[in-house]
Amino acid sequence: MSSAEILVILAAVALAGGIGAGLALLLRRRAGADDGRQADMPRLAQLAETLAATQNQLAGRLNQLADTTATAQAELGRTVAERLDAVSKQLGDSLTQSADRTSRTIGELQTRLAVIDEAQKGLSALSSQVIGLQDILDNKQARGAFGEQILENLVRDALPEGIFEFQATLSNHSRVDCLIRLPNPPGPIAIDAKFPLESYRALADAADDAARTLAARAFTADMQKHIADIAGKYILPGETAESALLFLPSEAVFAELHSRFSAVVEAAQRRRVWIVSPTTMMATLTTIRAVLRDARMREQAGEIQRQVTALTEDVGRLLDRVGSLRKHFGQAEQDIRQIEISADKVARKTDQVGAVQLEAPDTAQPAALATGARPRLIGP
């Protein structure tokens, strides 16, 4: 039963009750006042009874409605309880899953925070190293040592020990940063590290064309001085190779030199001074290593030839000795044939001796005794 029906029944009950009460009061007021209206009393009484019956029916319907409502409320309460239990379970599961996800997220966040902390420490250390590197580059003497260290690391990584020497002193009392002792040709190659950082920075920081021109002149002058020093000090006929290497430890300086100062590069090449950067230096050292490998292979080929020659001589002597042994075997074979012939003769004589028979005692012995001859044995 719907709520509208319930409201309608309640309104009808209330209306019937009100009408019945009004009729009863009206009957009491008019009972003694007007005797002439007694003829209408039966109809009013009948109407009152009808209303009372209707009220009773409505009361029954109301009681039935109350029972139905109570049952519906109980069913609704049970349904609501079940729904609440299901919602509570889902909410609990969701809260548990959310807690697990939150815990994992917090763990991952802590891990990432730890990584960020480590990265921050690394950045701090790198910043201090960059500051230290800046201090090194600002100091001319320290900058030179820095370039020499880079050169030393490249050489040690690319070449085997024993063929290079750092801070080697030449016959003209010049000390070169690195001397790679290659076989002739080409001979020992000198490598010297140079780092014209001041003029390069002035060139990079030039604000106008005039400042850029002055910085370019200073950079060119520095490079030409380095080229002249290397060509005059480290290229010695009969002692070193006919060329030397100028090592620039900065790829940026090397790129700037080859892109905008080709005249300086060509002048260096005319004086047989080859300018290299860390990258091209590694390629050069790889080529030098190949040259060393070829030289070792030539030395080993000569040694192999000497060993093959000695082996050929040994094989000749072995063949001579085999021939002598063959002669000895031939003589021994001939001696064996002679021995076999003698053995055959001995065997035949032995057969002849075995074929001898003794004569009869009654005839031969008296005759032997008569003649004084010794009896001849026959047979074994």
pLDDT tens for 84-121 read: 888 888 888 888 888 888 888 888 888 888 888 788 77
Q: How far is CA 166 from the centre of its chain?
A: 35
365 versus 183: the higher-pLDDT residue is: 183
Asked if residue 89 and residue 188 are part of one domain, the reply reads: no
Is residue 369 assigned to a domain? Answer: no
pLDDT tens for 132-173 read: 445 444 555 666 677 788 888 888 888 888 888 998 888 888
Residue 21 has pLDDT above 70, yes or no: no
Residues 6 or more apart in contact with residue 59 via CB below 8 angstroms: 13
The pTM (predicted TM-score) of the whole model is: 0.45
Residue 281 has pLDDT above 80, yes or no: yes
CATH code of residue 233: 3.40.1350
Residue 368 has pLDDT above 70, yes or no: no
What type of residue is 68?
T
Is residue 241 assigned to a domain? Answer: yes
> Please, what is the average pLDDT of the chain?
77
Instruction: Give residue 377's pLDDT band: very low, low, confident or very high (50, 70, 90).
Output: very low
Work out how many domains the chain is built from and give that number: 2
In angstroms, rounded to a whole number, what is the distance separating the alpha carbons of residues 122 and 135?
A: 20
Asked if residue 240 and residue 172 are part of one domain, the reply reads: yes
What type of residue is 143?
R
Is residue 352 assigned to a domain? Answer: no
Residue 262 has pLDDT above 80, yes or no: yes
pLDDT at residue 358, as a whole number: 47
pLDDT tens for 297-318 read: 777 777 777 778 888 888 888 8
- The SS3 assignment for 229 reads helix
What domain range includes position 57?
Answer: 3-30+44-107
pLDDT at residue 364, as a whole number: 47
